[in-house]
A and B are shown apart, each in its own frame.
Chain A
Amino acid sequence: MSEKYPINLWVNEERYEKLQKAGLAAMCQEMLAGLKCIQVYCNDAQKDKILKVFPTAKFDSATTKSIELLPRQVKDKIFDLVVQKQSIDIMDDFLKNY
């Protein structure tokens, strides 16, 4: 099975409100001492594309094995797509535009 790499969408009040309105609050998982988060996953090819298209992004290979430091606006777009599609399986759709 191919590896999956999470992008952590940290859920602040604004994002939590959107999730609640869409009835999706249960999508959140608790990480790091209770911090709410939604994880969307990338496969190898998607991870490579993300790192290429967004040069500030970093794959934290040493500790968390997650893709971090995507610009806030980019993560907002990914988050909005999750809400719109009511699914965390949205990376193909998201990357279509890049």
Chain B
Amino acid sequence: MAEIGHGGKEIKERILEPAEAKKRIQGLKQYPIRSQLANEVIDIAYGFFSPLEGFMGKADVESVCKKMRLKDGKTVWSIPIVFDMSNEEIAEYGVKPGASLLLTYTGNPMAIFEIEEVYEYDKKSLAKDVYGTDEAKHPGCARTYAYKDKFVGGKITLVNRPKINEPFTPYFLPPLELRKIFKEKGWKRIVAHQTRNVPHTGHEWLMKGAWFQTYGELPMDKPYVGVLVNAIIGEKRKGDYIDEAIILTQDELRKSGYFGDHNHLTSLTFWDMRYAGPREAVFHAALRTNLGLTHHMFGRDHAGVGTYYGAYDAHRLLESLKGEINIVPVYSENWLYCPHCGEITSESLCNHKKEWQKFSGTLIRSIVQDGVKPPRLIFRPEVFDLVLECAEKYGFGSPFVEEEYLKKRTPVFVMPPLA
């Protein structure tokens, strides 16, 4: 049976068999790509970005910027997916409509890029439309301004499957594989938890709250609802938790029994966050629709940065797109510790307002950095111990990204030589 993704299109992987791949890449010029583009090549080829079949041409980019839809005028899409090249590279590699390149990554063949269009696009206008600001200090704008001279649109076909390195291997679950797992588990509804963080109990209760909200009227005779933690793995900034700590601690909540196999699963998506706030929320809705999810948690200031977006801007934008996106938004407020209740509770539930003790991921990072083990009501001891283990095993002594980690870490994936 066809697996239908975002925009009502069937999800089809764009991956060649090795024998066919070897034939097709003969004589193609090899062009090495950076990690952002390699991530997006994987997302396109495995169907994370369905219905996209490649990098966007100008009509799509314009339509996405101005109308938040692909050029068909119907399919909601909020962030341009573009491939940039310098004028010199375009000349050197003979990039023009009708030509093809062999994209390489970590020194080996990755994908065929069938070029359909080479074009310019005003970066300031793109930034303003997507991020609501053209300030260079916004990380999404900064990324936009760093793009090279021109954009190249065209279809992508993977010629070689990536080798996902440990400990990430079990968490790379592309859309078709993930949908199969959901069927095996018998889940009728699955709610997405978007994360780039090590979980504290506020996050845990966000998930538990969303699980209740999603369960709704379904019978309780069997577990019909699951939470999918979909960690965004991409460019790291100094001070972030290291990727290994994020993915392993999220899964630890299941392994340590705070959830179980019957209602919790962890996977990853390769993506460099744009911090586009409301537009990134819409992008997440499309992405998670492709993963086979029925519901998606959206908290306050979803995927925002600084003070660029209001706490509920993303909720309002998603509401305005009702009927056009095929995933049910599950809105959530912050969870906090109430000493009077003696438990984690929500701003919407508890009325001991004067006693509330709010905490955030930043605050917990600060506690961990001070070498203090937080109480189990705030941070699970299994999670804390694993954070320290990850620091030793993967982080060169620190659970946070430092210069040494950026230089020496084992990459999340590499392209192996073509078999």
Chain A contact residues, CB within 8 Å of chain B: 8-12, 14, 31-35, 56, 58, 60-64, 66, 68-72, 75
The one of B359, B371, B375 in contact with A72, judged by C-beta atoms closer than 8 angstroms, is B371
A63 and B363: CB pair below 8 A? yes
The CA-CA distance from A70 to B366 in the complex, in Å, is 8
Chain A positions within 8 Å of B378 at CB level? 32-33, 35
Which listed residue (B300, B311, B365) contacts A68, Cβ 8 A?
A: B365
Chain B residues with CB under 8 Å of A72's CB are: 369-371
Residue B351 lies at the interface, judged by CB distance under 8 Å to chain A: no
Q: Tell me whether B22 is interfacial, beta carbon within 8 Å.
A: no
Q: Contacts A35-B367, A69-B369; is A64 near B239 (CB within 8 Å)?
A: no
**Cα separation A94 to B238 with both chains bound (whole Å):** 25
Which residues does chain B contribute within 8 Å of A69, judged by CB atoms? 239, 362, 365-366, 369
Q: In the complex the two chains form, what is the Cα distance from A73 to B182 in whole Å?
A: 47
How many angstroms from the CA of A62 to the CA of B337 in the assembled complex?
16
Instruction: Tell me if A10 and B372 are in contact (CB < 8 A).
Output: yes
CB within 8 Å: A-B pair count: 70
For B359, what are the chain A residues with a Cβ–Cβ distance below 8 Å?
Answer: 32, 63-64
From known contacts A32-B359, A63-B334, A64-B360, infer whether A10 and B375 are also in contact, taking CB-CB under 8 Å: no
Binding site for A on B (CB under 8 A): 238-239, 300-301, 307, 311, 334, 337, 339, 357-360, 362-363, 365-367, 369-372, 374-375, 377-378
**A9 to B358 Cα, complex, angstroms:** 16
Cβ contact within 8 Å between A32 and B362: no
User: Which chain B residues border A62 with CB–CB below 8 Å?
Assistant: 300-301, 311, 360
B370 proximity list for chain A (CB < 8 A): 9-10, 12, 72, 75
Q: Can you list 6 contacts pairing A with B, beta carbon distance less than 8 Å?
A: A10-B370, A35-B375, A35-B378, A58-B362, A69-B362, A69-B366
Given A56-B239, A64-B359, A72-B371, answer yes or no on A32-B366 (Cβ-Cβ < 8 Å).
Answer: no
Q: Which residues of B contact A58 (CB under 8 A)?
A: 362
